[in-house]
């Protein structure tokens, strides 16, 4: 049976290898070992900050979704957002944010339609 030290050593080595193999982009809201989970104290501090600012209660993880949504709305490519969020594949990113992507696409088509709009007042 593996001892705690062996398991911890193996886990630390795996995290170090994963960090070194990643590109220069870091995952959003990750702690020091890229676990994607903030300690309870940080969650509580964030909740207090939201309360002091008069904001409704939100989860820290919701900020990731806000970040991705705002990036898509700004026209940032899905592959770039995937790297920023640290998703394992583009499919995870596009599957999670499919509604946002469709809204951005509809908006783009609507803008294109505005180029061909007929001005009724200019007709003789």
How far apart (Å, rounded) are the C-alpha atoms in residues 93 and 67?
A: 12
Q: What is the structure's pLDDT at 12?
A: 52
pLDDT score of 30: 47
What is the chain's mean pLDDT, rounded?
76
pLDDT in tens, 8-56: 555 455 455 545 544 444 445 544 444 455 678 888 888 999 999 998 9
pLDDT (tens digit, 9 = 90+) per residue, 3-16? 545 545 554 554 55
Q: What is the DSSP string of 48-95?
A: HHHHHTTPPP--HHHHHHHHHHHHHHTT--HHHHHHHHT-SSHHHHHH
* pTM for the whole structure: 0.56
Q: Where are the domains of the chain?
A: 30-115
What percentage of residues in the chain have a pLDDT greater than 70? 65
């Amino acid at each position: 049976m593996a001892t705690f030290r062996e398991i911890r050593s193996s886990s630390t080595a795996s995290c170090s290898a994963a960090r070194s193999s990643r590109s220069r982009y870091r995952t959003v809201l990750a702690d020091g070992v890229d676990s994607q989970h903030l300690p309870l104290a940080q969650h509580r501090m964030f909740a207090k900050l939201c309360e002091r600012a008069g904001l409704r209660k939100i989860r820290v993880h919701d900020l990731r979704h806000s970040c991705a949504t705002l990036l898509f709305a700004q026209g940032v490519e899905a592959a770039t957002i995937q790297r920023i969020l640290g998703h394992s594949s583009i499919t995870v990113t596009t599957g999670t944010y499919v509604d946002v992507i469709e809204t951005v696409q509809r908006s783009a088509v609507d803008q294109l339609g505005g180029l061909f709009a007929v001005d009724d007042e200019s007709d003789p």
